[in-house]
Every structure is written in structure tokens, then in C-alpha cells.
Amino acid sequence: MTTLTLLAADGEFQAPGPEIFDFPPLYSGAPVWLNKPVLLAVIGALIICVLAWTAFAKPKLVPRGIQNIGEYGYTFVRDQCARPFLGKDAERWMPLLLSLFLLILLWNFFGVIPVLQIPVNSHIAYPIIFAVTIYVIKIYLGIKHQGGLGYFKNMMFPPGLPKGVYVLMAPLELISNLVLAPFTHAVRLFANMFAGHLILAFFASVGFHFLFEQLTPLGAPLGLVGFLMTTLMTGFEIFIQFLQAFLFTMLAAMYIGGSLHADH
Amino acid sequence: MTLAATVLAAEENNPLLPHTYELVVGGLAFLLVFLVVGKILTPRIQKTLAERTEAIEGGIQKAENAQAEAQAVLQQYRDQLNEARQEAARLREEAREQGAQIKAELREEAQAEARRIVEAAHAQIEADKAQALAQLRSEIGRLSTDLAGRIVGESLEDEARQRRVVDRFLEELEGSGTTAVR
């Protein structure tokens, strides 16, 4: 909205930039932290709690209504994320993985819900929270199940390689596991949401500018393209939002599974 | 224009650097979801899913058991029926054998009895004959003496009487002779 206001003032098209992710406080005089993404984060968490409560509070042996949907989500996370990496430990880690998946998914979906239109995870703080949580669990479980030395030994010296390779392999594995993995875990989700929102905002503002603000015979087809692309990209974005939630949860399961069993 | 100012101020924000308050809000939101969804609700649905699996597997197991039981009972009935048939056949055979045996025994007995009766009759006849002969012999002797006595005792002058005596004697002899000879 702020971008569009600016554009109207200038009268010339200006592509939206990173500033579209910055939100002022909700009302004048509100504390600086009380802005739209924060509000959406809280609302999202509450919605997940309420939905999950209606689905699972009193589960029936023969599922009805929303319990069916809930079970579909549960079995999806269990069969696609947890079981491939955790095997028989899958059930034990489902509370964490299901919470993770549902919250990320809804926070992502906020990006395409009219009026809300900002994926909460496009603010890097939220992916960081998730990634750090998984990272801490990963390190803790690794040391607990493989021993302090054993964990790092298994990590840096995967068996079955010629000795010389370890000179190169060991530091790479260490950096990859302890630094790159959590970094990419968080940034992958953040960057996808960030870029997706930017693309949607770009096409939407093209359409809005050339069809409503500056309607000219030359600009109108461009505005039409912008409008069509917005529609198309919204569909694509829904797919990406789901995919990233799934991927994040799957990677979380993979990290936890890797710490539980040294399978290298 | 205040909006523009805000935007300009906000442009200093680096999207790769998190705001502290967002970390706090995100952490709390995740914690809330984890406590409600993860800690309270997930175990419930896991329990229900496990119960459902158990119920389905239990139902299948129960059906299989029932079927196996029915099969066993059917087999048992068949066995019993077979056994009964064999038993009946055996009994029939036995009865037939016994009947034949009894018939043979009875025939033999009857034949023996008949033989016995015939033999007894023969013996009786022989005895009767011997007795009759013996009786006849003694009778003839006695009669002869009797006759002789009478002949001697009677007066011989009465030829008519004499003749009567002889006739009477002969008549008597005839009368007793028929019985004696027989």
C-alpha cells in the first residue's frame, strides 16, 4: 500500500523493492513492534491452535468433518516427512514436526490471502526461530546418542572413504553440518517467501499502475500482462508456499534422524 | 507524506537481519502452537489412529478366527459323519454276519432235533415191537396151555359144545390177536 501511495504521488511507475516488507505500527502511538507481520504471526498461531483443537480435541474412531482434514495433514507429515527419516521414532517426533509444518504452512499462505497478503516467513526472524530450534535439538540429540566425541567423529569422518580424502572432507563436513545446514535451512524458507512476495507485488503493481493509475493505449496491454501474471503467479506461489513448508519439515526430520542414528 | 517518511526510514532495514521483537513473537507463537498442537492434540490423534488400526486389525483377526473356527467345526462334523457312516456300515455287516450265523445255527439245531425225534421214534417202535413179541410169546404159551386145558377139561361127548369152545377160542384169539400183532 505504501508503495502504491508513493507511485501515485510520483505519477511514474516504480517497481516495488524490499521496502514493501517494512510495516509501520498498526496505529499511531502503537509500540513499534506491533505491526502487521507480528499481528499475523500471532493470529496464525491462534488459528492453528483453534483448527487443530476442533479437529483433534475429541478424536473419533470413525473420523468426521474437520477431523478428516486434520488426519490428512497428520498422515501427510508422518508418511512424507517423519517416517522416511525417523523410521520407528517417527511417532515420537510428530508433535514437533506437525506443529512446525502447520504453522509454517499457514504463515506462508498468508502471502496469498487477500487483505493479509504478506507471508510471515518473508521476515527472516521467523524462519530463524524454526531453524535454530531444530539446530539446537539436532546438536543435543547428536551428542546424547552418539557421544560428544562420537558425534563429531561420525560427522567429520564418514566411514568408507580413502584416508587422503578426509583431509578435505573433515572440515567441509564440519562447516556444512554446523554452519551451512542451519543457515540454508532458515534462508531457503525466508528467501522463497521473500522473492515470491516481491514477484507478486511487482506484477500486481504493474497491473494496478497501467490499468488504473496511468491508463494509456500503450500501457494497457502491459497492465493486462501484469494482471494475468499476478493471477498465474498467485497459483504458483501457493504451490511454493506449500512446498517450502513441506521441505522445511522434511529437512527438520532429516536432521533429527541423522542425530539419532549415525547412518553415514 | 507521513507514510513516505516511514517508508524512507524503514528502508534502512536489512531483510537479512531479524528484529528482536519478531524473534520473541515468533518464538512465543511457535511455543504456543507446539504446546497446544504438539503436546496436547498430537498424542490424542496418535492414540485414536493407533486404536483405529487396532480395531481394523482386530476385526480382521476376529473374522479370520471365526472363519478358522467354522472350518474346524465343519471338518469335525464331516469327520463325525464319516465315522458314523463307517460305524453304521460296520454294524450292518456285523448284523448280517450274526444273522447268517444264527440262521445256520438254528438250521443245524432243527436238523439235529429232527434227527433226534426220528431216532427216538425208531427206538420206541423197536422197543414196542420187542415188547409185543415178548408179550405175544408168553400169551401164545399161556393160550396154548389154556386151550389145551379147556380141550382136556371139557366133556368130549358134547360135540356141539366142543365145537363152540373151539370157535369161541378162535374168536378170542382173533380179538386179542389183532391188538397183540399190531
Whether pLDDT at A181 is above 80: yes
User: 149-208 in A: which are within 8 Å (CB) of B?
Assistant: 194
Shortest Cα distance, chain B CAs vs residue A262, angstroms: 26
What is d(CA A124, CA B18) in angstroms, rounded to the nearest whole number? 6
Of A6, A61, A129, the CB nearest to B52: A61
Within a 13 Å sphere around the CA of B34, how many CA atoms are in the beta-carbon half? 14
pLDDT digits (tens, 9 = 90+) for A25-51: 988 888 988 999 999 999 999 999 999
Residue A80's CB: how many other CB atoms inside 10 A? 14
3 state DSSP class of A110: coil
Q: Do A124 and B3 touch (CB under 8 A)?
A: no
Domain-wise residue ranges, chain A? 2-260
Q: Is A21 on the interface with B (CB under 8 A)?
A: yes
Please report, as a single letter, which amino acid is at residue A238: I
Query: Which chain B residue shows the shortest CA-CA distance from A68?
Result: B45
What is d(CA A144, CA A236) in angstroms, rounded to the nearest whole number? 42
Whether pLDDT at A213 is above 70: yes
Report ipTM for this prediction. Answer: 0.90
Residues of chain A in contact with residue B10, where contact means CB-CB under 8 angstroms, are 19, 22-24
Q: Do B37 and A95 touch (CB under 8 A)?
A: yes
pLDDT digits (tens, 9 = 90+) for B91-148: 999 999 999 999 999 999 999 999 999 999 999 999 999 998 888 887 887 787 777 7
What is d(CA A92, CA A82) in angstroms, rounded to the nearest whole number? 10
What average pLDDT does range A65-83 have in this prediction? 94
Query: Which chain A residue shows the shortest CA-CA distance from B23?
Result: A125
Model pTM score: 0.71
Residues of chain A in contact with residue B26, where contact means CB-CB under 8 angstroms, are 41, 125-126, 128-129
Backbone phi, psi, residue A83, to 5°: -65, -40
Question: Where does the pLDDT of residue A11 fall: very low under 50, low under 70, confident under 90, or very high at 90 and above?
Answer: low
pLDDT digits (tens, 9 = 90+) for B46-72: 999 999 999 999 889 999 999 999 999
Are B139 and B176 in contact by the 8 Å Cβ rule? The answer is yes
Residues 6+ apart with CB under 8 A from A101: A73, A77, A81, A245, A246, A248, A249
Are A34 and B22 in contact by the 8 Å Cβ rule? The answer is no
Average pLDDT, chain B: 85
CA distances from A134 to A140, A183, A251, A253, A257 (A): 10, 11, 9, 9, 11
Residues of chain A in contact with residue B32, where contact means CB-CB under 8 angstroms, are 45-46, 49
What is d(CA A153, CA A146) in angstroms, rounded to the nearest whole number? 9
Lowest mean pLDDT among A47-56, A57-66, A69-78: A57-66
Are A211 and A145 in contact by the 8 Å Cβ rule? The answer is no
Domain-wise residue ranges, chain B? 35-181
Contact residues, chain B to chain A, C-beta under 8 Å: 3-4, 6-7, 10-11, 13, 15-19, 21-23, 25-27, 29-30, 32-34, 36-39, 41-49, 51-52, 55
* DSSP label at residue A35: B
Of A32, A41, A74, the CB nearest to B45: A74
Cell triple for residue B169? Answer: 377160542
What average pLDDT does range B154-167 have in this prediction? 70
- The alpha helices in chain A, defined as continuous H runs, are 2-10, 36-56, 66-76, 83-86, 90-109, 125-146, 148-156, 165-175, 181-208, 219-260
Question: Where does the pLDDT of residue A22 fall: very low under 50, low under 70, confident under 90, or very high at 90 and above?
Answer: confident
